[in-house]
A and B are shown apart, each in its own frame.
Chain A
Amino acid sequence: GEDVEQSLFLSVREGDSSVINCTYTDSSSTYLYWYKQEPGAGLQLLTYIFSNMDMKQDQRLTVLLNKKDKHLSLRIADTQTGDSAIYFCAETSGTYKYIFGTGTRLKVLA
């Protein structure tokens, strides 16, 4: 079945860039999303990318999509302590089914 994989942890220093990676298996994926979850809270949509795009930039966030390798990444520039959270990658082929990764816990060191 379809699967989405992420590394579990990432630690960066404040001011550095963070890159969170995700791989997926569903070749019919239409939209791919990045969500942020802070402790005790729900998932907050950060950004999304359509499968016919290679890159999307939104302020400090840059999403890169390599459709051939089924690889998605989220780059956070000038990472701040407030960026410490769990980041989830998710995909859908446009039906009612979404596949979520297990989440990457980002820790930002002051």
Chain B
Amino acid sequence: NAGVTQTPKFQVLKTGQSMTLQCAQDMNHEYMSWYRQDPGMGLRLIHYSVGAGITDQGEVPNGYNVSRSTTEDFPLRLLSAAPSQTSVYFCASRTGQISYEQYFGPGTRLTVT
């Protein structure tokens, strides 16, 4: 199993550009989520999905879109990048076991100039 994979690893965007961060998992997990990590702020939930076709907003959803057409993939779209979206983005998926532990991808470091 590859676990949770993310691409790209690094990205630089100009203000106003759009892009999609890719996330895939091969563990057949129903629950997937996107977080951003900023210095001194821990991880904050952007969007999550409890299964194909079902998504919902987290704590900081503005400026981001998600969709879930398959169990494996959960892309995050930045509609019009802003410098405030400079961050490290992590995708995670969750086991269906009762302990609810999440498994994280390696992250995408995004810089918006």
Contacts and interface: CB of A to CB of B under 8 A. Distances in A.
A31 B102 CA distance: 11
Which of under 10, 10 to 19, 20 to 34, or 35 or more describes the interface residues of A? 20 to 34
A97 interface: yes
Interface of A: 4, 30-31, 33, 35, 40-45, 48, 50, 88, 90, 92, 94, 96-98, 100-103
A43 B93 CA distance: 12
Most chain A CB neighbours (cut-off 10 Å) among B33, B43, B103, B107: B43
Q: Is the interface of A mostly helix, strand, loop or mixed?
A: strand
Given A41-B107, A42-B107, A43-B90, A98 B42 contact: no
B104 A44 contact: yes
B42 A94 contact: no
B42 A102 contact: yes
For the complex of A and B, list the 6 residue pairs with the smallest distance between their C-beta atoms, beginning with the closest: A42-B104, A100-B42, A100-B43, A43-B104, A102-B42, A42-B106
Nearest to B56: A96
Contacts of A31: 99-101
